[in-house]
Structure 1
Amino acid sequence: MKSQINNFVSDFFFEYETQRQVLVRNRRVGVVCRLIQLGVLGYIIGWVFIYEKGYQSTDTAVSSVFTKMKGVGYTNRSGLEQIWDVADYVFPSQGDASFVVMTNFILTENQTMGKCPELPGKDNCSTNAECEEGRFKRTGNGHMTGLCLKQTGTCEVLAWCPVENDATIPDPPLLMSAENYTLFIKNSITFPLFNVNRSNLVEGIDGKYISKCLYHPDNDPLCPIMRLGDIVKFSGFNFTTIAKVGGAIGILVDWTCNLDWAERHCKPFYTFHGLYGNPGETDKARASVGYNFRYAKHYMEEGQAKRTLIKVFGIRIDIIVRSLAREFDIIPTLTAIGSGVGIFGVATIVCDLVLLYVLPKREFYKNMKYKYTDAYQQGSEEQDSEEGSTKKEADTIEKEAAKE
Structure 2
Amino acid sequence: MEKMRNKITNAISDFFFEYETPRQVLVRNRRVGVVCRLIQLGVLAYIIGWVFIYEKGYQCTDTAVSSVFTKMKGVGYTNVDGVEKVWDVADYVFPPQGDASFVVMTNYIITEGQSLGVCPELPGKHNCTKDVDCDGGSYKRTGHGRMSGVCDNTTKTCEVMAWCPVEDDSHIQSVPPLLMSAENYTLFIKNSVTFPLFGVTRSNLVEGIDANYISKCLYHPEKAPLCPIFNMGDLVKLSGFNFETIAKVGGAIGIVVDWTCNFDVDVRHCKPKYNFHGLYGNPNETDKARASVGYNFRYARHYFEDKVQKRTLLKVFGIRIDVIVQSLARRFDIIPTLTAIGSGVGIFGVATVVCDLVLLYLLPKREFYKNMKFKFTDSQGQPDNDSFDLDPNVFYGLGAKPEHVQETGRSNDPESEGGSIETEARQCH
- Shorter-chain-normalised TM-score: which range? over 0.9
Q: 1:131 to 1:7 in 2, by over 3 A?
A: closer
Alpha-carbon separation, structure 2, partners of 1:30 and 1:296: 80
1:52 lines up with 2:63 in the alignment? no
| Equivalent in the alignment of 2:192 | 188
Q: 1:216 to 1:150 in 2, by over 3 A?
A: same
Of 412, 416, 429, the residue aligned with 1:393 is 416
1:250 lines up with 2:254 in the alignment? yes
Q: 1:284 to 1:83 in 2, by over 3 A?
A: closer
Alpha-carbon separation, structure 1, partners of 2:393 and 2:319: 92
Q: 1:360 to 1:81 in 2, by over 3 A?
A: same
In structure 2, give the amino acid aligned to 1:390. Answer: D
Q: Is 2:260–2:327's contact at 8 Å kept on the other side of the alignment? A: yes
Of 156, 160, 183, the residue aligned with 1:157 is 160
Alpha-carbon separation, structure 2, partners of 1:280 and 1:348: 54
Structure 1 residue 9, shift from structure 2 partner = 5.7
1:328 lines up with 2:332 in the alignment? yes
| Equivalent in the alignment of 1:100 | 103
Unaligned runs of 5+ in 1: none
Structure 1 residue 372, shift from structure 2 partner = 2.8
Of 78, 83, 89, the residue aligned with 1:86 is 89
Alpha-carbon separation, structure 1, partners of 2:247 and 2:59: 46
Q: Which moved more, 1:295-304 or 1:183-192?
A: 295-304
Of 3, 16, 19, the residue aligned with 2:19 is 16
Alpha-carbon separation, structure 2, partners of 1:142 and 1:346: 73
Could you state the TM-score of these two structures normalised by the residue count of structure 2? 0.88
Between the two proteins, the alignment pairs up a number of residues equal to 402
| Equivalent in the alignment of 2:135 | 132
Question: RMSD over aligned Cα, in angstroms?
Answer: 2.3
- SS in structure 2 of the partner of residue 152 of structure 1: coil
- SS in structure 1 of the partner of residue 421 of structure 2: helix
| Equivalent in the alignment of 1:379 | 390
Alpha-carbon separation, structure 1, partners of 2:187 and 2:415: 87
Q: 1:358 to 1:130 in 2, by over 3 A?
A: same
1:269 lines up with 2:273 in the alignment? yes
Structure 1 residue 121, shift from structure 2 partner = 1.1
Unaligned runs of 5+ in 2: 395-401, 405-410
Q: 1:193 to 1:333 in 2, by over 3 A?
A: same
Of 205, 214, 218, the residue aligned with 1:214 is 218
Alpha-carbon separation, structure 1, partners of 2:35 and 2:413: 28
Structure 1 residue 251, shift from structure 2 partner = 0.4
Q: 1:400 to 1:329 in 2, by over 3 A?
A: closer
Q: 1:299 to 1:30 in 2, by over 3 A?
A: same
In structure 2, give the amino acid aligned to 1:144. Answer: M
Structure 1 residue 21, shift from structure 2 partner = 1.6
| Equivalent in the alignment of 2:237 | 233
Alpha-carbon separation, structure 2, partners of 1:252 and 1:382: 72
1:148 lines up with 2:151 in the alignment? yes
- SS in structure 2 of the partner of residue 232 of structure 1: helix
Q: Which moved more, 1:372-381 or 1:200-209?
A: 372-381
Q: Which moved more, 1:265-274 or 1:371-380?
A: 371-380
Of 29, 36, 40, the residue aligned with 2:43 is 40
| Equivalent in the alignment of 1:370 | 374
- SS in structure 1 of the partner of residue 149 of structure 2: strand
Alpha-carbon separation, structure 1, partners of 2:128 and 2:253: 42
In structure 2, give the amino acid aligned to 1:324. Answer: L
Q: 1:9 to 1:140 in 2, by over 3 A?
A: closer
Q: Which moved more, 1:361-370 or 1:265-274?
A: 361-370
| Equivalent in the alignment of 1:71 | 74
- SS in structure 2 of the partner of residue 230 of structure 1: helix
Higher helix share: 1
| Equivalent in the alignment of 2:408 | none
In structure 1, give the amino acid aligned to 2:296. Answer: N
Over residues 201-251 of structure 1, what are the superposed CA-to-partner deviations in whole Å (9 max), with x where a residue is unaligned?
001000000000000111101000001111111111111111111111110
Alpha-carbon separation, structure 1, partners of 2:267 and 2:107: 44
Structure 1 residue 8, shift from structure 2 partner = 5.2
Could you state the TM-score of these two structures normalised by the residue count of structure 1? 0.93
- SS in structure 1 of the partner of residue 279 of structure 2: strand
Q: 1:108 to 1:356 in 2, by over 3 A?
A: same
Q: Is 2:125–2:142's contact at 8 Å kept on the other side of the alignment? A: yes
Structure 1 residue 13, shift from structure 2 partner = 4.4
Q: Is 2:372–2:417's contact at 8 Å kept on the other side of the alignment? A: no
Q: 1:112 to 1:5 in 2, by over 3 A?
A: closer
Q: 1:288 to 1:6 in 2, by over 3 A?
A: closer
In structure 1, give the amino acid aligned to 2:390. Answer: G
